[in-house]
Structure 1
Amino acid sequence: MQHHKLMRWHVWLGWLIGVPIILWTASGLLMVTQPIEEVRGEHLRRAAPALDAIRPVAPLLEGRRAKSLTLQQDRAGPFWVVAYADGGKRRADALTGALLPPVSAAQASAAATAARSEAVPIRSVTRFAGDAAPIDQRSGRPSWQVAFDDGARFYIDADTGELLSVRTRFWRLFDFMWGLHIMDLQTREDSSHPVLIGSAALALIGAILGFVLLFTRRRRRRGQ
């Protein structure tokens, strides 16, 4: 009798956890089909140029507190990336210290092209506010999306000109599968929520019941 009750519970749990297990397995299988370096588009990135030998001038902060100062360089030369304590960012000329205006579409295109390891035509350039960024750019920063003909997207910070992220076609599929894997298709970042925890707990209970049934079945056969 006990064996039949366990079997019944095991079947019902199987119906409940069957879909999550299929999603976990299928999404996990797809995510490991390519090396993570290729998923992140590291093969599309060009190494950052070496800094010129200069005597940089401290940037003008205009009364705002700076959290960090980073010296970088692009085709136009060296510049400061000023990260303010209140969360904002600006760039400044490293030779004069003067604050520079926000990055234009042409500058974003040039930055993305310079950051690519090979020449590919640009299909479109689109600006996004920090609170309205696409799902594949979740830094919270205002950005320029530079889309290339091969499907790659380079995101350039609209205030500093920094390369925020590189997104390949497979990365976007990978990101969707990651959302399925953690059962969070909205933000794709919350890996600790009741639906996922409950599904994992039911799957564990189902696996334990299946393991127990192996022994109860053997005892039942011996009794018969």
Structure 2
Amino acid sequence: MKSFWKRPANWFRWHRWLGYLIGLQLLAWIAGGLFFAIVPFQTAIKGKDLVAKPEAIFIQDWHLALQKLPTEHGRLLALQSVQVPQGTALRLQFENKTLLLDQRGSQLASPNQAQIETFARQAYRGGGDLVQAKLLTQVPTQLGMVKELAGRPNVWQVKFKDEQNTRLYFDGKTGEFITVRTDAWVWYDFFWRLHVMDYAEGEDFNNTLLRVATIFAMLMMVTGIVLSVRNLLRGRF
């Protein structure tokens, strides 16, 4: 057994087979790390410069609408102003129901395509033209595993023609702005899933597959160090 570990050929054989097992994942780790380091996160990935929420504008005496609130839904638990295509609205959370009302106390209907397009143009800060606004029951998966809204259904997708192929998403029922997505975000999420080896959700970075791959990568590094030290001591460099 001792002679087995002393033979360089055995160390090289282990190093080679470990390389076969973990080589592609090592490449994915390196490529992903390079992408994370080079691409600006806030601007290119998060699209902070591409969108700005419209400013809230309240009508005079808007609070008077709260005097005629419905009582059949229980106590009022929370009140929040939100921006929708029809303007500034009020979200009222009761014990048994949540309502979205305009500032005069009337319940808002779901926005149509024209309202969504106008709202999207107000929010968009890029230099591209609006290409398409479409109500989707489900956002298509990209690159085989990337889900832009984590499977959220019933959303408006508004596409703009610019360098990043910017896409703005709005709630299909209320028209509220959800988020902005770009091609850079899709590639970031793709490399992140490869990086943590969670191809379904991209959130579990303590999964068993990642632990096993890390052990193999460590063993490959150890065998490589042993071979390098042996060659160095024997003057083969």
Question: TM-score, length-normalised on structure 1?
Answer: 0.79
1:90 CA displacement: 5.0
SS class of match (1:79) = strand
Taking the TM superposition and a 5 Å limit, the aligned residue runs for 1:133-152 are 133-134=139-140, 135-138=147-150, 140=152, 142-150=154-162, 151-152=165-166
Deviations 1:127-177 (A, max 9, x none): 123xx3332122625310011122210001112222111112222222222
Cα 1:210/1:81, change in 2 over 3 Å: farther
2:214 maps to 1:200 = yes
1:94 CA displacement: 2.7
Q: Which residue of structure 2 aligns with residue 91 of structure 1?
A: 100
* Residues 85, 115 of structure 2: 8 Å contact kept: no
SS class of match (1:103) = coil
Q: Which residue of structure 1 aligns with residue 90 of structure 2?
A: 80
* Residues 113, 119 of structure 1: 8 Å contact kept: no
> Alignment RMSD, CA only?
3.1
Identity over aligned pairs, percent:
27
1:201 CA displacement: 1.9
2:16 maps to 1:15 = no
* Residues 15, 224 of structure 2: 8 Å contact kept: yes
Q: Which residue of structure 2 aligns with residue 43 of structure 1?
A: 49
Q: Aligned partners of 1:85, 1:198: CA distance in 2, in Å?
A: 48
Count the aligned residue pairs: 217
Q: Aligned partners of 2:94, 2:128: CA distance in 1, in Å?
A: 35
1:22 CA displacement: 0.6
* Residues 89, 160 of structure 1: 8 Å contact kept: no
Cα 1:49/1:104, change in 2 over 3 Å: same
* Residues 60, 99 of structure 1: 8 Å contact kept: no
The partner residue of 2:187 within 152, 157, 173 is 173
Q: Aligned partners of 1:61, 1:117: CA distance in 2, in Å?
A: 41
Gap regions ≥5 residues in structure 2? 141-146
SS class of match (2:158) = strand
* Residues 144, 158 of structure 1: 8 Å contact kept: yes
Cα 1:82/1:171, change in 2 over 3 Å: farther
* Residues 81, 92 of structure 1: 8 Å contact kept: yes
* Residues 84, 174 of structure 2: 8 Å contact kept: no
Q: Aligned partners of 1:177, 1:85: CA distance in 2, in Å?
A: 42
Gap regions ≥5 residues in structure 1? none
Q: Aligned partners of 1:147, 1:127: CA distance in 2, in Å?
A: 12
* Residues 73, 79 of structure 1: 8 Å contact kept: yes
* Residues 86, 115 of structure 2: 8 Å contact kept: no
* Residues 193, 202 of structure 2: 8 Å contact kept: yes
2:111 maps to 1:103 = yes
